[in-house]
């Protein structure tokens, strides 16, 4: 299919208005969720919202026990799977590889470990909910918060046991 064909299809779909409304709903929800976590954790503990290019939309949380290791939690909407997820991610590829190796070698069982590769930012992924849960935004936010807290608790327990270098 040519670029011209792709652009024609996009123009037709945009003419319907469905893409704009759906995308707007996702961005609006993620902005509200980010505000919720900023209120809860403080402005310095939450990153800006990355809107993405129909790959992912996310913001990061920087709990002290992870930040000191160069790690963060990401609250993600993944467009390919059309799901909300919570990820363990790192500040750079070196830190990502280090903690991927630690989790892999020491038997992490608290979520899907993601093999490092070009364009892959997650170290661990936990699914939260499908996009269809946007209709109940407060319940979705409660679920996102619960999954993020569970992942953080599991990671801190694991890292306190297996990570001899707490700061990178």
What is the CB-side half-sphere exposure of residue 34 using CA atoms within 13 A? 21
Q: Are strands 122-130 and 83-90 parallel, antiparallel or unpaired?
A: antiparallel
Please give the residue that has the higher pLDDT: either 86 or 16: 86
CA–CA distance from 98 to each of 13, 105, 165 (Å)? Answer: 43, 11, 11
What is the CB-side half-sphere exposure of residue 131 using CA atoms within 13 A? 16
Domain spans of the chain, in order of start: 3-162
Q: Band the pLDDT of 117: cuts 50, 70, 90.
A: confident
CA 30 to chain centre: 11
pLDDT surpassing 50 at residue 82? yes
Q: Band the pLDDT of 150: cuts 50, 70, 90.
A: very high
Q: Band the pLDDT of 166: cuts 50, 70, 90.
A: low
What is the C-alpha to C-alpha distance for residues 19 and 15, in angstroms, rounded to an integer?
A: 9
| pTM recorded for the entire structure | 0.91
- Could you tell me what percent of the chain has a pLDDT over 70? 98
Say what the pLDDT of residue 167 is: 47
CB-CB neighbours of 111 under 10 Å: 22
- Could you tell me what percent of the chain has a pLDDT over 90? 80
Q: Band the pLDDT of 119: cuts 50, 70, 90.
A: confident
Averaged pLDDT score across all residues of the chain:
93
Mapped onto helix, strand or coil, the DSSP state of residue 118 is coil
């Amino acid at each position: 299919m040519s670029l011209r064909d792709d652009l024609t299809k996009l123009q037709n779909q945009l003419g319907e208005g469905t893409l704009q409304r759906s995308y707007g709903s996702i961005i609006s929800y993620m902005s509200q969720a980010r505000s919720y976590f900023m209120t809860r954790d403080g402005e310095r503990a939450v990153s800006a919202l990355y809107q993405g290019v129909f790959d992912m939309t996310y913001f990061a949380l920087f709990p002290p026990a992870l930040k000191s290791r160069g790690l963060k939690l990401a609250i993600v909407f993944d467009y390919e799977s059309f799901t909300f997820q919570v990820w363990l991610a790192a500040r750079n590829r070196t830190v990502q590889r280090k903690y991927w190796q630690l989790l892999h070698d020491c038997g992490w069982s608290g979520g899907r470990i993601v093999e490092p590769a070009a364009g892959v930012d997650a170290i661990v992924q936990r699914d939260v909910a499908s996009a269809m849960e946007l209709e109940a935004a407060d319940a979705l936010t409660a679920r996102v918060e619960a999954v993020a807290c569970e992942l953080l608790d599991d990671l801190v327990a694991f890292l306190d046991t297996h990570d001899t270098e707490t700061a990178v």
